[in-house]
Structure 1
């Protein structure tokens, strides 16, 4: 059963501690990422979601918060599962392998731990402000724009890229070292643009529309 707007007005305020704590984390992460990775790192879906969430919690915007939930709940929950599997001694997808490489900066790995708690924060925020159904279309358009920019403007996979962001949002395949060769590059891109909404965005939308309070 949906929660009415009037009920949300009375009970959906985001706690000040959440706003301040998240803002403090972002005050550390943003300059650190800019220094080590550069501004293009903020084209990743997860990093875009961090920025939108920052604005969303202070404005208590159901649309911004719901967009982030639509965009990253599925991939970030997969990240969490892969991380826990790695802790248990095996890797499922390889998504979190970098978190266990001792040569990588511990501080950068610590900051990257936001992938593990951000999906749960977003579920809490959606419950507090309500789910905005327009977020499905809004995030899908934003995601398509990001994919096109990353494909046509940003660098592709490179064997020795170091900390430079390459193959952002996996527009050239699943490896940052070399492009996929299963299908034509544009076919892969089209597959992302079609597959992400079908497999991640729309299912998340249906679940949140069914179970979350509605804005």
Structure 2
């Protein structure tokens, strides 16, 4: 983190830290440091399914050398981005597994998806307010980093917010089921 944060800030700018994956990376570090099941659960809900998609896309792109079937990791093969910066992006590979381990260790907070809904929608609204075609963070202007033109931008934002809410709810249900009643910890008031 001592290397990644300043390098990302210099190369991509601070706005880049509003990507949910970067939020989860920083939030996961905070959750581990504070041993906070709520923060760990929120970060898991936020990104684990999407990060597993990143891992799958990256591994498949390695098999076919550069073509990303899901279109998520195409930037990893962009020679205009310095190799060192692209190598730092490999944090996506362990991130979902670290978050799963962290939640397994600390317990799953069943309220996490509600908190993530508030935080996530706030991040989406902020990125929408600050986004431009070159900085389409969290794809609030269109899919795949491209600006969409087939519907009103606010309608598109509503779609993104609804899809994110559905993914977070699905993740919440999945991990509630996988961990079972013993794995779901009832968080005390506060953290």
TM-score normalised to structure 1 length: 0.80
Counterpart in 2 of 1:105?
82
Q: Is the 8 A contact 2:131 2:141 kept in 1?
A: no
Match for residue 182 of structure 1 among 112, 134, 150: 150
Provide the alpha-carbon RMSD of the alignment.
1.3
**SS of equivalent to 1:95:** coil
Please give the alpha-carbon distance, in whole angstroms, between the structure 2 residues aligned to 1:186 and 1:72: 23
Change (3 A) 1:211 1:76: same
Instruction: Identify which of 166, 173, 190 aligns with 2:142.
Output: 173
**Deviation sequence 1:120-163 (CA, Å, 0-9, x none):** 110111111110111100111111001111112x13213xxxxx
* 8 Å contact kept, 1:65–1:126: yes
8 Å CA contact 2:72, 2:144 repeated in 1: no
Matched-pair contact (CA < 8 Å) for 1:171–1:192: yes
Deviation at 1:103, TM superposition (A): 3.9
Task: Check if 1:209 corresponds to 2:185.
Answer: no
Higher-RCO chain (CA-CA 8 Å, sequence separation at least 6): 1
Secondary structure of 2:154's aligned partner: helix
Distance 1:116 1:173, change over 3 A: same
State yes or no: 1:41 paired with 2:41.
no
Aligned partners of 1:84, 1:49: CA distance in 2, in Å? 21
The answer as to whether partners of 1:72 and 1:119 remain within 8 angstroms in 2 is: yes
TM-score, structure 2 as length reference: 0.89
Match of 2:35 among 48, 51, 60: 60
Tell me by how many angstroms 1:28 deviates.
1.3
| Closer, same or farther: CA 43–59 of 1 in aligned 2, 3 Å | same
Structure number with larger C-alpha Rg:
1
